[in-house]
A and B are shown apart, each in its own frame.
Chain A
């Protein structure tokens, strides 16, 4: 999970862990990209904020997909839903969710993207 608001990042990571996921934390897009490039951890999905210092969510998606073309992405933002939809590229296994998101909605979007293998 790449999110620059520490309190939100910690809480959502804990929620996802409680739901049974193993979650790696990144303070911004660059840190997330470093984790992905490092290759020591297998990553199935990236939950990333659209606006972050150093590297934002869409730039992270663009760079990460050069190395892992099938990696699922769920991009999030505090901007209105319609604006997020416009900012998020219409690509396979890329979804979006507006903040503040409900746990049920987040869990269902993640499951949907993870299941969309083909």
Chain B
């Protein structure tokens, strides 16, 4: 049997996502209606809030799956890193942690901005989610001595411990496909994704863009 052609896989995943989001929307609206009408307290309130979080998690995994099958290299163009960083930070809605941006005000590189945006969204979204409220996740950028551009995302996850990048990308509990998506986007960009765990301080991800 022939393997799934790419377009067919994209189509199946797109239809699957669409079909699952209708019942998800019904479950979510039902929970919110119950909250609105019954105004539950204590354990009942916690149960409903927990159920809403699970709906959001399923929605995120569906979205990740749809983004993953669509990832494809595009044409490189001149892209301003500070603007991409600001956009990624602006897309981190609903996060409690502060996001600090730091780097040269002007830094243009030749890259596929869409793919780089996917990697930044996933890494920064995850960093903001695991950083405790009141602390900051950061997004920094610059150039190595040899001229290669780098972008670094750091979180404040105190549970950070030793492990391999592969392990982090594939088994991180509750993170959906986000880190794996970031890695795939970097691979398609021809970029290197480095990772470092700083025990009791957090993680640092560095994308090194070999071109540009």
**Counting CB contacts under 8 A, is B87 at the interface?**
no
Contact stretch, chosen from A8-16, A24-32, A36-44, A58-66? A8-16
Tell me whether B26 and A11 are in contact (CB under 8 A).
yes
Residues in chain B near residue A14, CB distance under 8 A: 33
Residues in chain A near residue B67, CB distance under 8 A: 80
Tell me whether A100 and B33 are in contact (CB under 8 A).
no
**Counting CB contacts under 8 A, is B143 at the interface?**
no
Tell me whether A15 and B32 are in contact (CB under 8 A).
yes
Known: A77-B18, A79-B18, A99-B22. A18 touches B28 (CB 8 A): no
Q: How far is the CA of A77 from the CA of B21 in the complex (A)?
A: 8
Give the shortest distance, in Å, between B29 (CB) and chain A (any CB).
4
Residues in chain B near residue A78, CB distance under 8 A: 17-22, 24-25
Tell me whether A100 and B28 are in contact (CB under 8 A).
yes
Which residues 96-148 of B have a CB within 8 angstroms of A?
Answer: none
Looking across the interface, which residue of chain A has its beta carbon closest to that of B29? A11
Tell me whether A11 and B33 are in contact (CB under 8 A).
yes
Known: A8-B22, A15-B36, A18-B36. A100 touches B30 (CB 8 A): no
Known: A15-B32, A15-B36, A18-B33. A100 touches B24 (CB 8 A): yes
Give the shortest distance, in Å, between B171 (CB) and chain A (any CB).
25
Tell me whether A100 and B37 are in contact (CB under 8 A).
no
Q: How far is the CA of A118 from the CA of B67 in the complex (A)?
A: 37
Interface centre among B14, B18, B36, B37 (most CB of A within 10 A): B18
Tell me whether B33 and A15 are in contact (CB under 8 A).
yes
Known: A5-B22, A8-B22. A102 touches B36 (CB 8 A): no
**Counting CB contacts under 8 A, is B59 at the interface?**
yes
Residues in chain A near residue B30, CB distance under 8 A: 7, 11
**Counting CB contacts under 8 A, is B63 at the interface?**
yes
**Counting CB contacts under 8 A, is A103 at the interface?**
yes
Q: How far is the CA of A56 from the CA of B198 in the complex (A)?
A: 52
Binary flags per residue of B1-21, CB closer than 8 Å to A gives 1, else 0: 000000000000010011111
Q: How far is the CA of A78 from the CA of B16 in the complex (A)?
A: 10
Q: How far is the CA of A51 from the CA of B17 in the complex (A)?
A: 14
Known: A5-B22, A15-B33. A102 touches B28 (CB 8 A): yes
Known: A18-B36, A18-B37. A103 touches B29 (CB 8 A): yes
Q: How far is the CA of A99 from the CA of B17 in the complex (A)?
A: 10
Residues in chain B near residue A8, CB distance under 8 A: 22, 25-26, 29
Give the shortest distance, in Å, between B200 (CB) and chain A (any CB).
34
Give the shortest distance, in Å, between A40 (CB) and chain B (any CB).
28
Looking across the interface, which residue of chain B has its beta carbon closest to that of A101? B25
Which residues of A pack against B, CB within 8 Å?
A: 5, 7-8, 11-12, 14-15, 18, 51, 77-80, 98-103
Please name 13 pairs of A and B residues whose Cβ atoms are closer than 8 Å in the assembled complex, sorted by A: A5-B25, A5-B26, A8-B22, A12-B29, A18-B37, A78-B24, A79-B17, A79-B18, A79-B21, A80-B17, A99-B21, A102-B32, A103-B36
